[in-house]
Amino acid sequence: MAKKLGEDTKVTLDLKTIGMIVGFAVSISSMYFVLQSDIAKAMELPLPTIERIEYDLKDELIRQTIMDTQEDVESILNKLEKLEERIYEMSKSQ
């Protein structure tokens, strides 16, 4: 048989269980308020600034990458010219 809950139902809790429930509720509420204060503090902090050294290093890296890419493109163009010459010579001899 299923038990029915109603006005006559008795719930018994010992002191240990009540203490655990109260402790859990207090810890959850304190975590919530600490989290809210951390969020408020983080919203007030200034944005991080990029220092000149960091900017110079990034600029140098980008410039070096562009130069490397330019060298690669020139190498590919040289190979392409050689291939075109070979194809022209092969088609000319046939």
88 plus 52 within the same structural domain: yes
Q: Which domain holds residue 28?
A: 14-45
Long-range contacts of 58-65 (CB under 8 A, 24+ apart): none
Structure tokens at 64: 């070096």
The answer as to whether 58 is a domain residue is yes
The structure's pTM equals 0.41
53 plus 80 within the same structural domain: yes
- The tally of domains found in the chain comes to 2
The answer as to whether 4 is a domain residue is no
The answer as to whether 6 is a domain residue is no
Taking only the tens place, the pLDDT of each residue in 47-76 is 777 788 988 999 999 999 999 999 999 999
Long-range contacts of 60-65 (CB under 8 A, 24+ apart): none
The answer as to whether 8 is a domain residue is no
d(CA 15, CA 8) in angstroms, rounded, equals: 22
The answer as to whether 1 is a domain residue is no
Taking only the tens place, the pLDDT of each residue in 33-48 is 999 999 999 888 887 7
d(CA 13, CA 16) in angstroms, rounded, equals: 8
DSSP 11: -
86 plus 70 within the same structural domain: yes
